[in-house]
Amino acid sequence: MSGVLVLAATPIGQVGDAPPRLAAELAGADVVAAEDTRRLKRLLTDLGVETTGRVTSYFEGNEAARTPVLLEELLGGARVLLVTDAGMPGVSDPGYRLVAAAVEAGIRVTAVPGPSAVLTALAVSGLPVDRFCFEGFLPRKAGERARRLEGLAAEERTMVFFEAPHRTAATLAAMADALGADRPGAVCRELTKTYEEIRRGGLAELAAWAEDGVRGEVTLVVAGATPPGPADIADDADALRAAVADQEAAGSSRKDAIKAVAAATGVGRRDLYDLVHRTDG
């Protein structure tokens, strides 16, 4: 009989936030796969738990090679517990490869729910939470980052990002350029920890604040684009048509021109398409 893969959330700050089932799963697992075995040891000490299972490392550098090994143990009936340094495995942390392999092999996958920097930051940001998307880490290179943000300019859902502290100022400045200086955002630093800090404001304001340096784990939350109403589109119809025509004159296809103008203005692509082609007709 096949075993079970258990994904267990670990505290993002205070150890008291550990879900009650975590201690039981750590004690009873046949194999504990940890992103950092040293942090696992500290967690076990803090929780007052001893694990009798085999402990192995499972991190970005060995994830591809270690996945088949763990899969064999699962196929042999083992209960494998996967933990990362903080939060839920697989969310910008190791785990996806093993989950995908286990699902493909017909192995049961379950989870111990618990702390999540994504949901915690979203909840305290003060921004809309009814619809949101998680974008993880943006590209490190400035050009790639700018292109990714350009593609998100018309995204109407609240967006959540992870970022390294030493890149936070540059990322916020790039966001201000691509999404608008006054677009509301929140910088959530050291969530649930002793020096937790949440800064809210326009993206340009936040970028200026971050220039003095940011420390600790950082999660960024950014408001989505405000969709223009029909009246707004009608009022700007001539300007929108002219912007598309300018893009085409510069060599863009009609499709790419509409895509570029939609991203720059926040007008929905379908609305812009209908506007341009209604004029052509």
pLDDT in tens, 124-154: 999 999 999 999 999 999 999 999 999 999 9
Question: For 90, left (φ over 0), alpha (ψ -120 to 50), or beta?
Answer: left
Percent of residues, the chain, with pLDDT higher than 70: 97
Beta carbons of 112 and 22 less than 8 angstroms apart: yes
Residue 213 confidence (pLDDT) = 94
106 exposure class (CB count in 10 Å sphere: 0-12, 13-18, 19+)? exposed
Residue 235 confidence (pLDDT) = 74
N-term to C-term CA, the chain: 65
pLDDT at residue 228 tops 80 = no
Supply the angle between the helices 237-249 and 269-280 in degrees, to the nearest 10: 90
Q: Per-domain residue ranges for the chain?
A: 4-115, 118-222, 230-280
Kindly state the average pLDDT of the residues 248-258.
91
Collapse the DSSP code of 49 into the 3-class scheme (helix H, G, I; strand E, B; otherwise coil) and give the result: coil
Of 268, 264, 222, the closest CA to residue 247 belongs to: 264
pLDDT at residue 231 tops 60 = no
Query: From CA 181, how far away is CA 216, in angstroms rounded?
Result: 25
Per the model's pLDDT, the better-predicted residue between 265 and 185 turns out to be 185
pLDDT at residue 277 tops 70 = yes
Residue 57 confidence (pLDDT) = 98
Architecture per CATH, domain 4-115, reads as: 3-Layer(aba) Sandwich (3.40)
pLDDT band at 232 (very low <50, low <70, confident <90, very high): low
Q: Which helix (H) or strand (E) holds 275?
A: helix 269-280
Residue 81 confidence (pLDDT) = 98
Residue 261 confidence (pLDDT) = 87
pLDDT at residue 172 tops 70 = yes
CATH 2.60.40.10 describes domain 118-222: no
Q: What share of the chain is helix, strand, coil (3-state, %, to 5)?
A: 45, 20, 35
Residue 280 confidence (pLDDT) = 63
- Find tokens 């286990």 and name the residue: 102
Residue 229 confidence (pLDDT) = 65
Whole-model pTM? 0.79
Residue 21 confidence (pLDDT) = 94
Of 7, 9, 47, 16, the closest CA to residue 193 belongs to: 16
β-sheet bridge partners, residue 136: 161
Per the model's pLDDT, the better-predicted residue between 67 and 268 turns out to be 67
Query: From CA 145, how far away is CA 137, in angstroms rounded?
Result: 10
Kindly state the average pLDDT of the residues 76-88.
97
Question: How many other β-carbons are positioned within 10 Å of the β-carbon of residue 9?
Answer: 23
Which tokens sit at 137? 């880490």
Instruction: Summarize pLDDT for 15-65 with one digit per residue, the tens.
Output: 999 998 999 999 999 999 999 999 999 999 999 999 999 999 999 999 999
Beta carbons of 154 and 268 less than 8 angstroms apart: yes
List, edge to edge, every strand of the sheet that includes 31-34.
Answer: 54-57, 31-34, 79-83, 4-8, 108-112
- At a CB cut-off of 8 Å and minimum separation 6, what does 210 contact? 168, 169, 172, 187
Most confident option among 158-167, 219-228, 245-254 = 158-167
pLDDT at residue 118 tops 60 = yes
Q: What is the mean pLDDT of the chain?
A: 93
16 exposure class (CB count in 10 Å sphere: 0-12, 13-18, 19+)? exposed
Kindly state the average pLDDT of the residues 165-187.
96
Residue 155 confidence (pLDDT) = 95
The most distant pair of C-alpha atoms in the chain lies apart, rounded to whole Å, by: 74
Residue 1 confidence (pLDDT) = 73
